[in-house]
Chain A
Amino acid sequence: MTESRTAGLLGHTLAGALDGLKAKRFSATELTRAYIQAVEEARALNAFVLETPDKALAQAADADKRYAQGAPRPLDGAPLGVKDLFCTEGVRSTACSNILGNFIPTYESTVTAHLWRDGAVMLGKLNMDEFAMGSSNETSCFGPVINPWRRKGSAKALTPGGSSGGSASAVAADLCLAATATDTGGSIRQPAAFTGTVGVKPTYGRCSRWGVVAFASSLDQAGPIAKTVEDAAILLQSMAGHDPKDSTSLPIKTPDFRAACARSVKGLTIGVPKEYRAPGMPPEIEKLWAQGIAWLQDAGAAIKDISLPHTKYALPCYYIVAPAEASSNLARYDGMRFGHRAQGRDLVETYERSRGEGFGAEVKRRILIGTYVLSAGYYDAYYLRAQKVRTRIAEDFRAAFEDVDAILTPTAPSAAFGLGEKAGDPVQMYLNDIFTVTANLAGLPGISVPSAVDAQGLPLGLQVIGRALDEETLFAVAAALERAAGFSAKPTKWWS
């Protein structure tokens, strides 16, 4: 295969690649080989923690057979990356934590099972913050992912955001057509914004959580990171769907997301919440937001100023609810039935050492916070109060959605920052999720669309938040923004 042919294969969107496969312009095996090579050449990005080329080629061969038979499946032959939070049968799954060690699941998560059912190809497992706890990918036991984007004239390594940093970097650097990711407080949308990709957090309950390592059960949702809004719609179409193995999975049909991308926004009312004007927000983000409003107006949408008064309390609320649930969800990592077991003098010491050694600093910090807020005497003051504040936040949205069809905000308060720049102060790091976390608390769908590059040449994203279960409007608005923004910048390929 020639250099340029390979580059051509890697340049496709998911939709474009599926068209090319269907038209037999290239085979699934050809496409997969090109991606396997790209992954190997991009190890400097540290996006993949496990490469599965043999599995990928076997899946590609099956896809080619189906194309030859004229009976392809919706994602047949599309090489994808899978966040290491998804359990994959027979393939090591670690949540990027030492405590899972060499854990090899005997089961496949529902979401990834849907992808393989639809013919997709797995290139490997993607790096992430340990147990999805982080906003910069620096808490991974495999070391941080590097953002393919750099500041103009600088070789400083930047974070791709987190926790789905591996997914975002891999998609931005064309190491896969698209990737699965998860979002508990912004872990899909913030890395998408940092890497010039599209990220969707669907309505809570849209994607099954079965087989996805749990961080905070009432907030976790799987979703896609992709190159375009349409690609994200195609991937979510496959990932979503009711799962009787997850009691919180919604028993509803999945609408045609791809078709929704082509809908007009004419006649829609878009809300602009005043509380999302964060103090110290860079003027470029402020400017982009205004631009986004203008784009949607030009496309025929009405704009309405709205108020979501409890916005400022969302992040502290999240930092009670999420650690509390995590402290309990992560109790199963005890070195008894799987994962890392340390030597101890007795049972208690074995527990304490296994968990002390197995978990990284940020995970331990959150387990301790979560244990503290649930402990005797503090439950009412912290956890119960946070759950009530959460109700307030959800009510804010409910009221707003009586007047508007979707809400437009920036995705993150800054562009990608340098590795290590925010490592010293946990709270500064937590503030990355200030615009995204509200959707998780309220269970609403949100999407980040790359909309501009800043003066340093780094991508910035706009976020659209929709009504519960109204991803279709979300895709329509996001597609309108995408068309207006005409974002086509790519990072310079410095890594191979």
Chain B
Amino acid sequence: MAIDMIERRGKLIPGATGDWEVIIGLEVHAQVASNAKLFSGASAAYGGDPNAHVSLVDAAMPGMLPVINRFCVEQAIRTGLGLKAKINLLSRFDRKNYFYPDLPAGYQISQYQHPIVGEGEVEVDLDDGGSVPVRIERIHLEQDAGKSIHDMDPDFTFVDLNRAGVALMEIVSKPDLRSSEEAAAYLKKLRAILRALGTCDGNMDEGSLRADVNVSVRRPGGELGTRCEIKNVNSMRYVAMAVEYEARRQIGVIEDGGRIRQETRLFDVKTGETRSMRSKEDAHDYRYFPDPDLLPLVLDPAWVKEIEASLPELPDARKQRLIAEYGLSSYDASVLVADGERTAFFEAVARGRDPKLSVNWVTQDFFGALNKAGLELARSKVDAAKLGGLIDLISDGTISGRIAKDVFERMFETGDAPGDIVAREGLRQVTDLTAIEQVIDAVMAANPDKVAEVREKPKAFGWWVGQVMKASGGKANPNAVNELLRKKLQID
């Protein structure tokens, strides 16, 4: 196959003999969020007693036949549309033949020659606020394998087929990634899109999303090197670590005069290293051929249109809209669009309120508190109406920003309405000028030396504001305090 890649200079890795460029492509396996498996009626739920979610089809009993799950097909189409990819109205299923105890039929049903989804694109957001386009080669539907457990017996492997036959979407990128950071950012973006689409829950701990990482190195702009495939890496951090390790390993081998062998490797999370997989050594002749138990998958264009019309707003569009509608910074918008729930929360808060104030309260105070408490948004006692109410109290001068922080802390703990907290605890801001004047007089009477000092050194003015606010229990209106203090201390 001809290598189709974009020439783009990424981060270079210095070696002993000069700089190297790393070329990365990802094959991401995303589990379809379906009730039943791709070709059988057994449950696709995570967990369960061993072999409890297994039908006779999944166990490849003699004479068993596959029948495809319509919902899984729909999710592949939805995902394709979400990645701005071509939907192939005619696709086929092929058998990939190899022997392994967690592959009961001796073949995996996959789509080799005619995948359901063709080329697409993902805009990957980088930490520096920039972005790079990464092209999608294809998406196909295929079966997951079962689970082999090696540590239950020294001489035997135990096999659980609960995962066998669960529907996966394999999303294959072109080799457009140029650094470990980009690879991780790509996976992060893909996850956000899948979650927004609802086609995959993106739960990486449960293996719902995992990546095969193809890595090769070359001299900047030079001829492509031999690639190695690192199997089943299941977090963004591990993807970055695996790329980092593998690139340096390959550079080391080449600089020592060696050659890279095309192979499948395993990422060891304990050591952070990759190593060759023995079990895959002679598995390279998969003898793909069209599965004669299945017929061509022909999609009705009207169905595809219907799915397209039902697509939710996706992260990129959402981000652009947030920037345009609310005047948010690219960074704030990125933080919000990572998750549909968060966007919705922000928009509910910002409706009819100051967007800048809203975004600060939502992303910094509220998300910060959620993070600190390790709480999911949906389980927080503070809803958008309450947080919005708090912002209203600041805007209409009822409380100061400073007091608002305390009120928020209470709200977060108890779920009480901000107005109730303010009333109950007497936190209403004092705007009565005579009351503030009395406080100022008292502070001045107690600190005659400081009165003289501030006239010499205007920088000491901050201390005065602090003292007055403190004496008022934080309730004095800061603007009024400022104005009256200047008058009384005779500074301008």
Contacts and interface: CB of A to CB of B under 8 A. Distances in A.
A and B touch in the complex (CB under 8 A): yes
B65 A331 contact: no
B260 to A, nearest CB: 21
A371 B287 contact: yes
A328 B63 contact: no
B130 interface: no
Interface in B215-239: none
A375 B67 contact: no
Nearest to A131: B62
B63 A209 contact: yes
A210 interface: yes
Contacts of B289: 324-325, 328, 374, 379, 383
A216 B62 contact: no
A248 to B, nearest CB: 6
Contacts of A95: 62
B295 interface: yes
B481 to A, nearest CB: 78
B425 interface: no
B463 interface: no
Contacts of A376: 284-285, 287
B59 A246 contact: no
B267 interface: no
A103 B62 contact: yes
Interface in B179-200: none
Nearest to A383: B289
Q: Is the interface of B mostly helix, strand, loop or mixed?
A: loop
Given A107-B56, A331-B99, A334-B99, A100 B62 contact: yes
A247 B60 contact: no
A324 B290 CA distance: 11
B60 A212 contact: no
Interface in B64-100: 64-68, 95, 97, 99
B287 A325 contact: no
B61 A247 contact: no
B297 to A, nearest CB: 10
Interface stretch (B10-18, B104-112, B363-371, B376-384): B104-112
B61 A338 contact: yes
A107 B101 contact: no
A379 to B, nearest CB: 7
Given A247-B293, A324-B289, A375-B287, A337 B63 contact: no
A245 B292 contact: no
A37 B97 CA distance: 47
A313 interface: no
A444 B212 CA distance: 45
A383 B287 CA distance: 11
A459 B194 CA distance: 66
Contact of A337 (B59, B287, B295): B59
A133 B26 CA distance: 43
Interface string B32-62: 0000000000000000000000001001111
B159 A248 contact: no
A245 B68 CA distance: 10
A383 B94 CA distance: 14
Nearest to B106: A331
Classify chain A: how many residues form its interface, as a range. 35 or more
A210 B61 CA distance: 11
Contacts, number: 97
A324 B97 CA distance: 11
A334 B106 contact: yes
Contact of A328 (B284, B287, B294): B287
Identify the interface centre among B60, B62, B292, B295: most chain A CB within 10 Å of its CB: B62
A247 B62 CA distance: 16
A216 B291 CA distance: 11
Contact of B105 (A109, A211, A331, A347): A331
Contacts of A371: 287
Residue among B56, B63, B66, B107 facing the most chain A CB atoms (10 A cut-off): B63
Contact of B68 (A86, A103, A247, A374): A247
Contacts of B66: 247
Given A328-B97, A332-B104, A374 B292 contact: no
Contacts of B97: 327-328, 331, 374
A173 interface: no
A162 B99 CA distance: 30
A268 to B, nearest CB: 32
Given A332-B104, A332-B106, A107 B67 contact: no
A218 B284 CA distance: 26
A336 B104 contact: yes
Contact of B65 (A93, A106, A247, A338): A247
A105 B62 contact: yes
A216 B293 CA distance: 9
A212 B61 CA distance: 10
Interface in B106-146: 106-107
Contacts of A217: 292-293
Nearest to A351: B99
A107 B292 CA distance: 22
Contacts of B101: 336, 347
B97 to A, nearest CB: 5
A106 B64 CA distance: 12
A400 to B, nearest CB: 25
B62 A332 contact: yes
Given A337-B104, A375-B287, A247 B63 contact: no
Contact of A214 (B63, B288, B295): B63
A351 B279 CA distance: 14
Interface string A301-343: 0000000000000000000000011011001101011100000
16 contacts: A87-B62, A105-B63, A209-B65, A211-B64, A247-B65, A247-B67, A248-B293, A324-B289, A325-B292, A327-B287, A328-B95, A328-B289, A332-B62, A338-B62, A374-B289, A379-B289
Interface of B: 56, 59-68, 95, 97, 99, 101, 104-107, 157, 159, 284-285, 287-289, 292-295
Given A210-B63, A247-B294, A336-B104, 11 more contacts: A210-B65, A213-B63, A218-B292, A245-B67, A247-B66, A248-B295, A325-B289, A336-B101, A351-B99, A374-B97, A383-B289
Interface of A: 86-87, 93, 95, 100, 103, 105-107, 109, 209-214, 216-218, 244-248, 324-325, 327-328, 331-332, 334, 336-338, 347, 351, 371, 374-376, 379, 383
